[in-house]
Amino acid sequence: MGSKYKCALCGEEITKYFNPMKEWKIEGVLCGDCYSKKISEFYPGDHTRIN
Ligand SMILES: [Zn+2]
């Protein structure tokens, strides 16, 4: 019932959570920081700007 989630990686309580991609093999949800970290781990160099 609570609106609080815990980041599966850093354990921080988060109110805005992100669903990890299936290939990351992570159970639960991620905070924004860990999510973007994972993104750059899995998709290095894929940070060109998008129009
Ligand atoms: Zn986190």
Ligand 1 centroid to 44 CA: how many Å?
Answer: 19
DSSP string, the chain: --S-EEBTTT--EESS-BPPPGGG---SBB-HHHHHHHHHHHSTT------
Give the model's pLDDT for residue 51. 60
Give the model's pLDDT for residue 47. 57
- Answer whether 6's CB lies under 8 Å from 12's CB: yes
Give the model's pLDDT for residue 46. 58
- Give the model confidence (pLDDT) of 8-28 as tens digits: 999 999 999 999 999 999 999
Ligand 1 centroid to 48 CA: how many Å?
Answer: 24
Over 70: is that where the pLDDT of 29 sits?
Answer: yes
**Beta-bridge partner residues of 6:** 13
- Listed by start position, the domains of the chain span 5-42
Ligand 1 centroid to 36 CA: how many Å?
Answer: 10
The first and second tokens of residue 36, run together, are 């973007």
Ligand 1 centroid to 17 CA: how many Å?
Answer: 9
Residues surrounding ion ligand 1 at CB below 5 Å: 7, 9-10, 31, 34
User: pTM for this one?
Assistant: 0.75
**CA end-to-end span of the chain, whole Å?**
38
